[in-house]
């Protein structure tokens, strides 16, 4: 039975709202008890931020995934030429592998690949020069000094020859047919689509426990959110790691702004100009995730700061009457949720260890069933997609346990630091991707 996108949205919203009403009724004794210790306003701030609003989000996401029925891609009679930009800074260890993955795509159309070496000091440029002998489609653009990823991509944009432009990270590996898949999705999406985000997965997931838990984040969390946003015509981030764009539209919005979160700010510029951004869930790229807690925290600081930059530069996006605006407001809640988790849940966890269940206790467990249901549904969807691509979901139970139980203990405090960085306007740099 066909259901329109708006009907699916209505079902998901009403179902999530009903779950939220039930949760509020269930949580009233918890709020009342906590109010005796910290006051009702603070109790509402913490309980809503730790449990009720995340519960609404999980319920909405679960129902949306159950309703999602994406039409399959179809082969094209003609594949358009494609320009690929690779911004590289000290990527000597991985750039050759990235170029091999492009060559193995056997994309049916013409390719132009530009590596923009952003002042590397490790021989990245020398490797690219050597590889130019093997790959006639490869070009190298040298920057005298490190000026940042946005600057590098904009320099590449000036030299891109084709109407479709793709960006990938320099330490990534494209799964076979990824280029064909993302181009097909772009050309078969609604006509106002001007960008499509591919699926980014973790390549170094066996390196240590930090990368093991990130494998689940990319496979479950990030992928689920992008699927949901795409269903409702509103993907909010065409990540620089792997996305396809209409070159003329990029030029129209001024390319990538030279900010910390250049990809989210640029994506919101596309949305503000009235365009749609899609998602191709079966065009896969494997990338190297941060391998230390410090690198992971810096990455999430950068992502959180980029979100505030997007709100600062495109506040009128909140006033656009379309489904994607719902997710802009959704993002507006994240600072509250991250602060509530950092200042409430983490201290509450410590208190619970000593027998004081004011913040973290039996009521907190009410979040678990719907979160686990969402994980189960997403795992089933992703496993089927992996099967169609000839991929296998690797066993990673230890990573899943860390992802479920401890991942947020790093991510949400790091996000709070990112918000503080942006508010205080601290120094901006490449950071980590």
Look at residue 394 and tell me whether its pLDDT is greater than 80: yes
User: End-to-end alpha-carbon separation of the chain, Å?
Assistant: 42
Domain boundaries, the chain: 5-70+324-424, 82-319
- Residue 193, helix vs strand vs coil: strand
The pTM for the full model equals: 0.93
Closest CA to 297 of 219, 396, 224, 214: 214
Structure tokens at 212: 């093991």
Q: What gap in Å lies between CA 165 and CA 86, rounded to an integer?
A: 11
pLDDT, tens digit, 9 for 90 and up, residues 187-196: 999 999 999 9
Q: What is the pLDDT at residue 433?
A: 53
Task: Count CB-CB contacts under 10 A for residue 429.
Answer: 12
pLDDT band of 431, cuts 50, 70, 90: low
Share of the chain above pLDDT 70, in %: 97
Q: What is the pLDDT at residue 370?
A: 75
Average of pLDDT values for 49-68?
A: 92
Q: What is the pLDDT at residue 299?
A: 95
Q: What gap in Å lies between CA 420 and CA 305, rounded to an integer?
A: 8
Average of pLDDT values for 416-430?
A: 86
Q: What is the pLDDT at residue 430?
A: 55
Look at residue 366 and tell me whether its pLDDT is greater than 80: no
Give exposure, 391-426, as e/b (b: 16+ Cβ within 10 Å): beeeebeebbebbbeebbebbbbbbbbbbebbeeee
Structure tokens at 49: 């931020």
Q: What gap in Å lies between CA 218 and CA 211, rounded to an integer?
A: 10
Element holding 32 (H helix, E strand):
helix 5-38
Average of pLDDT values for 361-378?
A: 76
Higher pLDDT pick, 71 / 102:
102
Average of pLDDT values for 172-188?
A: 96
The DSSP output letter for 282 is E
Look at residue 69 and tell me whether its pLDDT is greater than 90: no
Q: What is the pLDDT at residue 421?
A: 93
SS (H, E, C) 375-398: HHHHHHHHHHHHHHHCCCCCCCHH
Q: What is the pLDDT at residue 367?
A: 66
Q: What gap in Å lies between CA 78 and CA 72, rounded to an integer?
A: 18
Average pLDDT value over all residues in the chain: 92
pLDDT, tens digit, 9 for 90 and up, residues 252-266: 999 999 999 999 999
pLDDT band of 371, cuts 50, 70, 90: confident
Contact 288, 168 (CB under 8 A): no
Give every CB contact of residue 77 below 8 A, 6+ residues apart in sequence. none
Q: What is the pLDDT at residue 41?
A: 96
Q: What is the pLDDT at residue 355?
A: 85
Q: What is the pLDDT at residue 411?
A: 95
Q: What gap in Å lies between CA 355 and CA 2, rounded to an integer?
A: 52
Contact 141, 117 (CB under 8 A): yes
pLDDT, tens digit, 9 for 90 and up, residues 104-115: 999 999 999 999
Share of the chain above pLDDT 90, in %: 76
Q: What is the pLDDT at residue 429?
A: 65
Domain 82-319 bears CATH identifier 2.60.40.3080: no
Give every CB contact of residue 26 below 8 A, 6+ residues apart in sequence. 363, 366
Closest CA to 205 of 130, 288, 262: 288
Look at residue 319 and tell me whether its pLDDT is greater than 80: yes
Give every CB contact of residue 354 below 8 A, 6+ residues apart in sequence. none
Higher pLDDT pick, 81 / 387:
81
pLDDT, tens digit, 9 for 90 and up, residues 207-248: 999 999 999 999 888 998 999 999 998 899 999 999 999 999
């Amino acid at each position: 039975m066909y259901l329109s996108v708006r009907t699916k949205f209505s079902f998901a919203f009403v179902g999530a709202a009903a779950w939220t009403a039930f949760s509020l009724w269930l949580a009233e004794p918890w709020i009342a008890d906590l109010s005796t210790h910290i006051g009702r306003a603070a109790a509402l701030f913490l309980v809503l931020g730790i449990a009720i609003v995340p519960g609404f989000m999980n319920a909405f996401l679960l129902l949306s995934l159950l309703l999602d029925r994406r039409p399959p891609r179809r082969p094209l009679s003609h594949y358009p030429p494609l320009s690929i930009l690779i911004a590289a800074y000290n990527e000597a260890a991985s750039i050759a592998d990235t170029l091999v993955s492009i060559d193995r795509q056997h994309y049916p159309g013409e390719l132009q690949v530009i590596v923009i070496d952003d002042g590397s000091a490790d021989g990245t440029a020398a490797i690219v020069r050597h590889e130019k002998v093997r790959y006639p489609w490869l070009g190298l653009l040298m920057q005298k000094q490190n000026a940042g990823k946005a600057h590098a991509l904009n320099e590449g944009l000036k030299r891109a020859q084709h109407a479709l432009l793709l960006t990938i990270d320099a330490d990534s590996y494209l799964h076979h047919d990824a280029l064909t898949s993302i181009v097909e999705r772009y050309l078969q999406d609604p006509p106002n689509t001007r960008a499509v985000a591919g699926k980014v997965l973790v390549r170094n997931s066996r390196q240590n426990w930090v990368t093991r838990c990130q494998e689940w984040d990319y496979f479950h969390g990030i992928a689920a959110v992008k699927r949901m946003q795409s269903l409702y015509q509103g993907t909010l981030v065409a990540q620089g790691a792997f996305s396809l764009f209409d070159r003329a539209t990029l030029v129209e919005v001024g390319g990538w702004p030279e900010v910390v979160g250049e990809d989210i700010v640029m994506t919101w510029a596309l949305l503000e100009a009235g365009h749609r951004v899609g998602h191709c869930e079966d065009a896969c790229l494997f990338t190297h995730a941060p391998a230390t807690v410090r690198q992971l925290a810096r990455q999430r600081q950068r992502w959180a700061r980029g979100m505030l930059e997007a709100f600062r530069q495109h506040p009128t996006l909140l006033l656009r009457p379309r489904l994607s605006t719902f997710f802009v407001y959704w993002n507006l809640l994240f600072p509250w949720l991250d602060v509530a988790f950092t200042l409430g849940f983490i201290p509450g966890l410590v208190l619970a260890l000593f027998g004081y269940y004011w913040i973290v206790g039996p009521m907190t467990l009410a979040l678990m069933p719907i979160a686990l249901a969402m994980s189960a549904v997403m795992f089933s969807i992703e496993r089927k997609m992996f099967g169609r691509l000839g991929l296998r979901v690797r066993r990673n139970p230890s990573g899943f346990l860390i992802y479920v139980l401890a991942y947020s203990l790093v991510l949400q405090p790091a996000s709070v630091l990112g918000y503080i960085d942006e508010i205080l306007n601290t120094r901006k740099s490449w950071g980590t991707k």
